Amino acid sequence: MIERIIIIDGVDPQTFYGVNNANISLIRNLFPKLRVSARGNVVKVIGEEHETAEFEKKLKEIEHTPQNTTSLRRRRSSTWLAARLLAVWTPRG
């Protein structure tokens, strides 16, 4: 088991985590083998090395999704992020 600390700095943590932490709950469901906790702009994940590395890669991919306009930033709601989470974390194959 390894503990990995990930800093969220590309998006507002409250928006990223979702209303009542809905997005974090979704992330936990998508990675059931990992223990995920979030506080402020810090996400802590505990699990196997390869799984925590994949988790960090996908989390950063979502965090750095391009934002083209101010109106898009305003629309970058919890619902949008939840859809993006599913798109990034859905297994391809």
Every domain of the chain and the residues it spans: 2-89
Give the pair of three-digit tokens for residue 35: 């223990």
CATH 2.60.210.10 fits 2-89, yes or no: no
Whole-model pTM over 0.85? no
- At 7-61, the pLDDT tens digits run 988 777 887 787 888 888 888 888 889 999 999 999 999 999 999 998 898 888 7
Q: What is the DSSP string of 41-90?
A: TEEEEEE-HHHHHHHHHHHHHHHT----SHHHHHH--HHHHHHHHHHHHS
